[in-house]
Amino acid sequence: MGEQPLSRRARYRAETHEEAKEIALRQLAEGGIGAVSLNAIGKEMGVTGPALYRYFANRDALLSSLIMDGYADLATVVEDTAQQHQQHRPRECLRALADAVRLWALKQPHRYFLLYGTPVPGYVAPDESVSVASRILYPFLQALSAMPITEAALDSRVALLEDQLATWAQTRNMPAKGHVLRYGLIW
């Protein structure tokens, strides 16, 4: 049984929501985070700034939507790259993943800086952003765990990284089942 088509009101709402985000991304690209303004977006769309509060509770809600979209978009790029390189050697896969992230960042630096740049004062990201952002890291960890174990992998820098990743997992209430680099992924 198929989904019911959206009502005219729901379609209009979705279109308005997306148009506002497109304008916000352009503002972000042109002037940085400080240039993102609901009032300016409303003016450009031909509605009042307060009318946009029906779509976004405040500027932080708009930023959260942009951030979630950015993480999801980058995660898709990373996951697709990992899928395309799954039969390659781990080192080649890691290189392809890093290149994919770099290319994504070069094509849209404003979105990259929104995700990984200077934190916005007073802004608190939604909890669900952690799970979406983790999708970006997971293919890297898979490739790392597939790397062959060598004597060099036993040095103190690897042990330090394993400790840091285990601490990271604990702070997110994720079970640490073993060493990340020596025995496979901890998730």
Query: How does the average pLDDT of the chain come out, rounded?
Result: 85
The domain spans of the chain are: 8-56, 60-147, 148-187
The yes-or-no verdict on residue 82 having pLDDT over 50 is: yes
Residue 156: the pLDDT is 63
**How is domain 8-56 classified at the architecture level of CATH?**
Orthogonal Bundle (1.10)
CA triple 166-172-177, angle to 5 deg: 40
Residue 179 CA to residue 163 CA, distance in Å, equals 9
What are the C-alpha distances in Å from 122 to residues 41, 76, 125? 21, 29, 10
Could you tell me the pTM of the whole model?
0.77
The yes-or-no verdict on residue 144 having pLDDT over 80 is: yes
Q: Which DSSP string do the residues of 29-66 spell out, in sequence order? A: HHH-GGG--HHHHHHHHTS-GGGGGGT-SSHHHHHHHH
Residue 78: the pLDDT is 97
pLDDT digits (tens, 9 = 90+) for 84-114: 998 999 889 999 999 999 999 999 999 999 9
CATH code given to domain 60-147: 1.10.357.10
Mean pLDDT, to the nearest integer, of 132-141?
92
Residue 181: the pLDDT is 44
